[in-house]
Chain A
Amino acid sequence: MGIAIATVLMAALGLIFGGLLTMAEKKFHVEIDPRIEQVRSYCAGANCGACGYPGCDGFAEAVVKGEAPVDGCKPGGLSCLKGIAEVMGTTASETEPLVARVICQGSRAVAKERYEYNGIPSCRVAAGIAGGPKLCRFACLGLGDCMAKCKFGAIHMEDNLCVIDPNKCTGCGACVEECPRDVIKLLPRSKTVYVQCRNSDVARVARDICMTACIACGRCKKTCQHDAIVVEGGFAHIDAEKCVHCGECAAVCPCNCITIPEVTA
């Protein structure tokens, strides 16, 4: 008898609460824009925060609200941009995807050191101690602050120098913000010829502290047939607009600080 009463009571309670919950769901229904979910599905999904919003969900919500630009997700690449633009009903202006490049070749083998650093492995800390372990004040310290920040595993350290894998890099720019020396720059992916040094010291000093420092000799400028190179502020700059990636400047550079154009498939 007792069991029967309990069963009936439980069933009745279940029905009552079930009914209440159903009513509550109908009454307090929250309208969610289905576009948020769609935008979210096109994002890179790494929650890298490069867009400036708290993760991909935050970004998707901001896009739908019209606060964030449709091309805000850099890691997503072209497919993400097209997808989000379609959801939002706008046309995406095709921008060249960016990639992070290291503007330094000062590994331990070529760059002289001021002192031996054996503190905690952090570029920020090392940079604060007597100007950093490397004599060049523009050099990559190679202790891995950027590596720790990279959500895509695109960065590793080789002989105290940061190396970025362009195939894994999504151009989110987290490393650019983290670097205490501003050694990393975001450049258009197709521009593979660039000067890998920004030491503005006079040639004698620059050459003395690093074997691969740009000494502003101007040979690249003379060689360039497209007028794409200017030597300014103690080092050479290549104008990405005018450069045709012939690689002639790289061939004549006496310090090997211009990259040789990559052969892209």
Chain B
Amino acid sequence: MPDKKTFRGGVHPLHRSHEGKAPTRDKPVREYAADTVTILMGMHLGAPSTPCVKKGDLVKMGQVIGEPVGFLGLPVHASVSGEVVDVGPVQTVGAVPGMAVTIKNDFADEWVDTLEPLGNVEKCDKDKIVPAIKNAGICGMGGASFPTHVKFAVKEGQYCDTIILNGAECETHLTADHRLMLEHSVRIVDGLRAAMRALDVKKGVIAIEDNKPDAIEAMRKAAEGRLGVEVQPLRTKYPQGGEKQLIHAVTGRQVPTKKLPLDVHVIVLNVGTAAAIADAVIDGKPLISRITTVTGHVKQPSNLRIRIGTMIADVVGECGGYSLEPGKICVGGAMTGLPCPSDLIPLTKANNGVVVYSEAEAAATEETPCIRCGRCVEVCPIGLNPYKLKYLCDADDLKGAEENNVMDCVVCGSCSYICPARRFLTPSFKNTKDKITLEAKKRKGQ
């Protein structure tokens, strides 16, 4: 058995309560289809798709309702069959409202063939795999929603020798990937094999944190006899599932500043993405549903397979409703989750969880002066000096912050988590990163 590998730094949030995963990790995934779905056109990184249906149209499951725009564009598919009741902007967790198509579900679940099934992943035409991934609308399902087909665009002079499947699920509270690995382990390995064949990669590693021994066992069993596929247990630590941390832990290679994983010959995919690839390649089914963990202060915390575009209010209702007055609702876990202004926010391809916090848990904390304990330096997985960066960011010294490598910050939140003075470290860095990007854009424009 290979050693449990890891990276330098990091934290272990909620280590006394099984990372907050106990309420849902033993609950099998339940299917759930809501009455209406509101499918956002801008679910992936890159330009939002253009809606190609109008109010009153009848759509079937899997039908293209949004045409891709640009290099990073992805098509959007209807996740239910029924009537389009609205096409217009809706509130999202982002800065501006996003264009969305609202469909009333007729529960007929009628499919339309949008993709050609390629059949067995070991025998199919490997040149058709990447186009199938694009046409199925697959983007990274771990949270960043980067279009998957772009990850496979290997440039001249680059090559890939390892594909890593990210099954770390280091975020607190979430068990969506855990359940997927237990219930669909063969699908995940199929997806990995398809990805490996598409780029002629010889080695595929499925990396899983050691707090999920049952998932490690299940994936080992599924990977038996499959060419070049191995399972790598990792130490339970946050942000073990961060792309650069995962590559370092598994291969020992470090992704240099301003470089991408492909520059160290690695592609990282989420296990959910791999399962979606298998669905697209084997069955010709586009990405229209995903597993989402609904937990926190809801009556029955569950893992649900939801249709893309389901409202948070609907999934909470399916889980028995709120068990107390919610103070804050986040999509994603405690470390990287995004706060929602209300529960009328549609879930996207990348939302792996909904966590409801009580008012006491969500109460504001007051920032106090830095006591120079140095814990933030210890835990930073990148090796930055968060306490020093914070001074520079507060003084609005963009140049100084850039010289101290603020652009390498992955906004994991480890420093803010560990800080005994409760300093708002991570949000300051994110703000400064945004400002620097904006300045650079302005300069380019002039």
Contacts and interface: CB of A to CB of B under 8 A. Distances in A.
Contacts of B435: 124
Contacts of B336: none
B424 A120 contact: yes
**Interface magnitude class on chain B:** 20 to 34
A1 interface: no
Interface string B360-385: 00001000000000000000000000
B396 A129 contact: no
Contacts of A148: 396
B131 interface: no
B426 to A, nearest CB: 10
A131 interface: yes
Contacts of B434: 124, 128
* Chain B interface helix/strand/loop/mixed: loop
Interface stretch (A5-13, A63-71, A111-119): A111-119
A127 interface: yes
Contacts of B96: 131, 137
A80 B93 CA distance: 48
Given A115-B339, A130-B341, A148-B396, A120 B91 contact: no
A114 B328 CA distance: 12
Given A119-B427, A120-B431, A122-B431, A128 B341 contact: no
* Chain A interface helix/strand/loop/mixed: loop
A125 B430 contact: yes
Contacts of A122: 431
B431 A127 contact: no
A115 B341 contact: yes
B431 A130 contact: no
Given A119-B424, A124-B435, A130 B430 contact: no
A131 B431 CA distance: 16
B427 A128 contact: no
Nearest to B95: A128
Interface in B81-103: 91-97
B440 to A, nearest CB: 16
Interface in B324-360: 338-342, 345
B428 interface: yes
B38 to A, nearest CB: 15
Contact of B364 (A118, A127, A132, A137): A118
Nearest to B93: A130
A218 to B, nearest CB: 27
Contacts of B92: 130-131
A226 B69 CA distance: 49
Given A119-B424, A148-B396, A127 B342 contact: no
Contacts of B396: 148
B339 A129 contact: yes
Given A119-B424, A120-B431, A130 B364 contact: no
B88 to A, nearest CB: 14
**Interface magnitude class on chain A:** 10 to 19
A130 B338 CA distance: 9
A77 B22 CA distance: 67
Contact of B91 (A118, A119, A124, A130): A130
Nearest to A118: B364
Interface in B230-253: none
Interface string B402-438: 0000000000000000000000100110110011000
B97 A131 contact: yes
A124 B434 CA distance: 9
Contacts of A132: 95
A129 to B, nearest CB: 6
A130 B94 contact: yes
Contact of B341 (A114, A118, A120, A125): A114
Interface in A56-96: none
Nearest to B91: A131
Nearest to B366: A118
B431 A124 contact: yes
Contacts of B340: 130
A131 B95 contact: yes
Nearest to B396: A148
A130 B341 CA distance: 6
Nearest to B96: A131
Contacts of B424: 119-120
A152 to B, nearest CB: 17
A26 B33 CA distance: 88
Contact of B339 (A120, A130, A137): A130
14 contacts: A115-B339, A115-B342, A120-B424, A120-B427, A125-B427, A128-B94, A128-B434, A129-B341, A130-B91, A130-B94, A130-B340, A131-B96, A132-B95, A148-B396
